Chain A
Amino acid sequence: MTDDLLSNCRPILGRVTDLLAVETSAGSADAVAGVRITPVDAVGLEQRAALLCTRSIKTSSKAAALDLAIRVMDLTTLEGADTPERVEALCTRARHPDAADWSVPPVAAVCVYPELVPVAAKELADSPVAVARVAGGFPAGLAPLDTRLAEIAWAVAAGADEVDIVLNRSAFLSGRYQKAYDEIAAAKQACGSAHLKVILETGELGSYDQIRQASMLAMVAGADFIKTSTGKIGTSATPAVALCMAEAIRDMAEQTGRAVGLKLAGGIRTAKQAWHYLVIVGETLGSGWLTPERFRLGASSLLNDVLMQRAKLLDGRYQRREDFSVD
């Protein structure tokens, strides 16, 4: 099993390394010359991730962690049933997550489908909350490249501050790394000044080695953030995947000095999960990454649980889920 894995990985690792070497010799890639991609120790990774999730957090730190979790949250709605009214309501929540308590900080961004960007941009015009949108043939990333790039450019023009695209897994998994790389680089160009987040959809990549390679590829290609999942498939962010990507970001920063952000999304529903991820990121990347500029939690139902735990800390009573917003 181990032998199989290694013999399968070596040529792939070689190819990615070659790719990085080729690309890095051309222009913008100077800064990333010599990036190494080492194999991942899957057992050690999972063990360390599990260990970090057992960290006990005391009450005062808990309060700070809950506020931080809100400040780094990308409040997301990506459903076919999204209406302008629904997005308006979401934007109101984004500015003041708890209508009864304005001491709760605003979230980092609201993440919506392209069509609804103008609505969100209008609602959030005079607020610190950014507008993020998914683009590039979300969630599969298999629309024609021209269409995807046009979609990105349109959204940026419509007021999106951040763009979430998906890695072309079809190209990546079949070994066409150059194609996957070129598409991200082209998307970065289409983004202009907007931040580019690249979704790896880790649940479809198959192994931690592949996740690490995809992370490196996306970062070298120009991603400002790398993101775990679309939230549209069963398997999404897990502690081990978060740790794997955080380590890739750390290695990238150590080797090139470039700080790339991390966004975790999909399946994060409870405040407890949120602060486990804060611990993983804090321990791996340092407190410099615990800011909305470098770390995000993409979620839709997480905010309710965080508000509920916050109320519990302030009030001392266990709260009732029904007392918090439905959406």
Chain B
Amino acid sequence: MSDRLVVNKTYKQFIGGAFERSESGRSYPVAGAGGELLANAVQGSRKDVRDAVAAARSAQAGWAGRTAYNRGQILYRVAEVMESRRDEFSAEVARAGDGCSYEAAAQETAAAIDRWVWYAGWADKFSTVLGGANPVAGPYFNLSVPEPVGVVGMVAPDEPPLLPLVSRLAPVIVSGNTAVVLASERCPLVAITLAETLALSDVPSGVVNILTGHRNELVPPLAGHVAVDSLDLTGCDAELAADAARQAAATITRVVSASAAERQWADESAQSPYLIDAFCETKTVWHPKGR
């Protein structure tokens, strides 16, 4: 057999259900554990942020309008599709960033898949746990229901490359939010592979948008965007997070960041229905019921 030419994958951004290069045409090299070149990733621009937010915005009402049961099915489907590509994910995780053994990478991949399953189960249950009928004096029902805030801008932690991203993303979208995710700057490739599984898992276009590039360039326009309703700054360093929070304050955007316990990514403390609640707004209604 003759030697084949190497066919390398181009890791492109995931915006509105399509894999696209940056509007700016730029890219940056991504190094592996040994300093070797893994691939060139897209270096997104503020206009890509704008396009991604527009895509997330237009997808939001439709996603929130689906039944909770259906959203749960779709999240479970993401787990199914990831499961069938476990080896690929494990290999990518093992060579990303500082690198780790294949066994450790396989463990991280399995934990990420299990996390999707865990949140898929919560899809049609969290509103009962977090909301419910409130006891009031008078002939009324008083009901509290958690509703998605809308578009969530997320800055994923740098490392590890996969599990923190899934741990933060799943609770955001399970309630009907849509997300614009800035992938890890150092290990962006696994996030794009995750985007490929999302694209194959009946997640509607625009519900998850994943951008790659430099944080310093992408966080300010994302944080300042008036159409972003909530921000998860878990992946930002203190200085960038403070700046983003100031931007967010000007447009009354809720800012969330993972607690120390939630950053124990492999532990059960990293998953909680209260994380779903962090990206919900509680609506309370009064309804006359008679005596």
Contact = CB atoms under 8 A, between A and B. Distances in A.
A317 interface: yes
Contacts of A319: 226-227
B245 to A, nearest CB: 15
Interface string B216-256: 00000100111100000000000000000001001100000
Nearest to A317: B224
B50 interface: yes
A37 B236 CA distance: 64
A310 B108 CA distance: 47
B227 A321 contact: yes
B55 interface: no
Contacts of A323: 226
Nearest to B250: A317
B181 interface: no
Contacts of A317: 224-226, 247, 250-251
Contacts of B247: 317
B179 interface: no
A320 interface: yes
Contacts of B251: 317
Nearest to B227: A320
A321 B53 CA distance: 12
A102 interface: no
Interface residues of A, number: 8
Nearest to A311: B226
Majority DSSP secondary structure for residues of A touching B: loop
B121 to A, nearest CB: 33
A317 B250 CA distance: 10
Interface in B51-105: 53, 57
A317 B221 CA distance: 7
Interface of B: 49-50, 53, 57, 221, 224-227, 247, 250-251
Contacts of B50: 318
A89 to B, nearest CB: 24
Q: Which of A320, A321, A323 has the most CB of B within 10 A?
A: A320
Contacts of B221: 318
Interface of A: 316-323
A319 B54 CA distance: 10
Q: Which of A316, A318, A319 has the most CB of B within 10 A?
A: A318
A321 B151 CA distance: 13
**Closest A-B pairs by Cβ, 6 of them:** A320-B227, A320-B226, A318-B225, A317-B224, A319-B226, A318-B50
B5 to A, nearest CB: 34
Contacts of B53: 318
A6 B49 CA distance: 49
Contacts of B225: 317-318, 320
A310 to B, nearest CB: 14
B150 to A, nearest CB: 10
A322 B226 CA distance: 10
B48 to A, nearest CB: 12
A221 B224 CA distance: 54
Nearest to B226: A320
A321 B225 CA distance: 11
Nearest to B222: A318
Contacts of A318: 49-50, 53, 221, 224-227
B23 to A, nearest CB: 12
12 contacts: A317-B225, A317-B226, A317-B247, A318-B49, A318-B50, A318-B225, A318-B226, A319-B227, A320-B57, A321-B227, A322-B227, A323-B226
Given A317-B224, A320-B57, A320-B225, 17 more contacts: A317-B226, A317-B247, A317-B250, A317-B251, A318-B50, A318-B53, A318-B221, A318-B224, A318-B225, A318-B227, A319-B226, A319-B227, A320-B226, A320-B227, A321-B57, A321-B227, A323-B226
A54 to B, nearest CB: 13
Nearest to B223: A317
Contacts of B224: 316-318
A315 to B, nearest CB: 9
B218 to A, nearest CB: 12
Contacts of B49: 318
Nearest to A316: B224
A320 B224 CA distance: 11
Contacts of A321: 57, 227
A318 B224 CA distance: 7
Contacts of A322: 227
Nearest to B46: A318
A316 B250 CA distance: 12
A321 B61 CA distance: 14
Contacts of A320: 57, 225-227
